Amino acid sequence: MYQVGFGISDITALRHGYAMHGFGMWFHRQQGVRNQLCARFFYFEDDKGAAVVYGCLELGYITRALREKFVEELVQEYPHIDPEGVVLTCTHTHSAPGGLAHEPLYNLVTPGFQPDVLEEIVSSAMVAFREAYQSAKYRDISFARGAIPETVPVAWNRSIQAFNLNKDITSRNPNDCHKALNREMDLLTIKEQEKEEDKETPVALLSWFGVHATCLGNKLSLLDGDNKGYASRYTEDKLPEKGVALFAQSACGDVSPHYHGPGQRLQRKRIKGEDEYEYARQNGIYQAEHALKLMAGKSQLDIKGDIDYAMFYIDFSDIHVDPEYAEGNRRAFTSEPCHGVPFFGGTPVDGPGVPPPVTNMASSMARGVKFRRMRNLPSYPSWKQDYYRRIYSAQDEKNILLESGYTQRRALGLPLDHYLIPGKVDPVVAELKHQYKIGALKEHALVPYVLPIQIILLGNLALICCPGEFTGVAGQRVVDVVKPVLKQKGVEEVIFSSYCNDYMGYVNTPEEYAAQTYEGGHNIFGKWSLGAFQMQLKKLSEEMFRPRNERRLNNEAKPPHYSPEELGLRSRLLPR
């Protein structure tokens, strides 16, 4: 048995007039609260004193700034807890505050970094952790896995064209988008012995199922936990008093809660306003009812054994990917972050972006920039030649609209404040130009590129914890690489947990990347990003056979820290 505790707290942090994170739309601003946003924490400790913290916040993202601030407060109060054993993840609701990152790109619509919001959320999240820690006592943990029936309208693949390019799947037609995904839910049930009775009662649970928390569209203005939040509240009403139900994300990068197939746009338009909240509630109930069914069923695995964990940071902008993870390619590299035209085009149903005529024109311009650069390559200084070779090789099929890295920051090859960059067309572009002009974007990259990977072992169960958004097939391929290694360490089941510890965009398979849908355009390190994650996570799993103090982890890679001067220029900015 483990000592297990759990807690919940309110992290709503409403700021009237400030944008929410997720859709990237200037007009998507907070005007009130529909349902409070919550943090839910679980604390696990084995009989040797090794501890793991798993926290899920009803936010759109976990940023490095948020994780660092939380860990700082946690360790100050509980110095015996190792930060490597702390997992922070989120539900990825798009109806929650933004402005939580030091890196500028995902804060543009807020606008800017809002340290007071971050501090309020961290302080409130600590309330949930303290409750989890203080309530810890010996409890049993069981694991179950089961697929949500295909007749339940809970999830659809939103990039069926890209999905069908994968070599290791059953191809689906547009009428079967609900089948083009992993419909399995993973569940941990926490049980405790009833007094004077020889039976155990479920008191809390943790669920992982991959579906975007985007039932609520960008025309709404109230903070809300979306489908995962509704799932938690519905389930907690069925649990004993003070029970906690945590609904986290698995690999959901290409999974939508809205119907996809013939007539998809028209069907989405029929769900407006109050109907969207009801739709989110019903989607959450589907997930909750399946979790309760798994909880009530027969346990497939009793969790037992020592707790272990490992985490380290990797510079994903400069990795030579082994041919084993790159379809035999011996010159497979990642590169500095670049965003493709489809990133700005958005997704067809959940979050449409700029219209197709604009993206078509931008794609043509991006190809022209690439042609001119490569044609004139010998005339550039050596550093720029190396840079262009790297990004165009790594990004491959992508039409690069925004170079978001540390070497240079350009839009369609132009400085971000260039007069040809159309600030009057889109207020987000105008904000980008404004921050560039005042010197707020001079240092480092616009997005994170030194990122954490993490593996948690609860005895015979493993959690693979990755930043960002993985498509369903990409997440499964990571599990397929890591599971055989950890099996030798006694691991019987593996759970893939996404949105952990930082956020940088998407990871999809090389086949999906080639289609250059939204997910490929938002895969910032290029075609071999998934291979880089597979390679590094396999190395991390192999190191877990060594004692913790003997593990050969590359701890030299550290996320860049922005200077107080530059960070100050993009902090506490007011909506304009």
User: Does a structural domain hold residue 356?
Assistant: no
Instruction: Kindly report the three-state secondary structure assignment for every residue of 175-244.
Output: HHHHHCCCCEEEEEEEEEECCCCCCEEEEEEEEECCCCCCCCCCCCCEECCHHHHHHHHHHHCCCCCCCE
Q: Confirm whether 137 is domain-assigned.
A: yes
pLDDT for the residue numbered 199 = 83
Quote the pTM value. 0.97
What percent of the chain shows pLDDT beyond 90?
Answer: 91
Q: What is the spatial distance between Cα 64 and Cα 561, in angstroms, rounded to a whole number?
A: 10
Question: How large is the average pLDDT for residues 68-78?
Answer: 98
* 246: in domain: yes
With respect to residue 512, please indicate whether it lies within any of the assigned structural domains. Answer: no
pLDDT digits (tens, 9 = 90+) for 484-500: 999 999 999 999 999 99
Question: d(Cα 248, Cα 229) in Å, to the nearest integer?
Answer: 10
Tokens (6 digits) for 94: 């798009």
Task: State mean pLDDT over 424-430.
Answer: 87
For residue 495, which of 243, 141, 60 has the smallest C-alpha distance? Answer: 141
209 within some domain: yes
Interval 132-149 mean pLDDT: 98
Mean residue pLDDT of the chain comes to: 96
Token couple for 137:
């006592």
Q: What pLDDT is recorded for position 159?
A: 98
302-315 residue pLDDT tens = 999 999 999 999 99
Mention every residue, 6+ apart, whose C-beta is less than 8 A from residue 510: 326, 327, 527, 528, 530, 531
Domain that holds residue 36: 2-307
What's the pLDDT at 55? 98
CB atoms within 10 A of CB 431: 23
Single-letter residue type at 380:
Y
In this predicted structure, the answer to whether residue 172 has a pLDDT above a threshold of 90 is yes
Contact 85, 119 (CB under 8 A): no
For residues 553 and 318, give the distance between their C-alpha atoms in angstroms, rounded to a whole number. Answer: 17
| DSSP string for 26-52 | TT-B--EESS--EEEEEEEE-TTS-EE
CA distance 412 to 403: 8
Has residue 467 been placed in a domain? no
The torsion angle over the Cα atoms of residues 538, 541, 543 and 546, rounded to 10 degrees, is -150
Looking at the structure of the chain, the number of domains it has is 1
Sequence-ordered list of residues with C-beta below 8 angstroms from that of 269, at least 6 positions apart, any chain: none
Q: How confident is the model at residue 193 (pLDDT cuts 50, 70, 90)?
A: confident
DSSP code of 565?
Answer: H
CB neighbour class for 34 (10 Å; exposed up to 12, middle 13-18, buried from 19):
middle
Per DSSP, what are the bridge partners of residue 9? 39
Residue with tokens 């929410």, as numbered in its chain: 20
Asked whether residue 290 is domain-assigned, the answer is: yes
How many Cβ atoms from other residues are within 10 Å of residue 434's Cβ? 20
Do the domain assignments include residue 504? no
Spatial contact of 398 and 506, defined as CB atoms under 8 Å apart: no
Look at residue 196 in the predicted model and tell me its pLDDT.
Answer: 62
Query: The dihedral of CA 82, 66, 513, 179: what is its sign?
Result: positive
pLDDT band (50, 70, 90) for residue 558: confident
For residue 562, give the DSSP letter: -
Task: For residue range 442-466, list pLDDT tens digits in order.
Answer: 888 999 999 999 999 999 999 999 9
- Say whether 143 sits in a helix, a strand or coil: strand
Q: What does the pLDDT average to over 25-40?
A: 97
| CB proximity list for 194: less than 8 A, separation 6 or greater | 200, 201
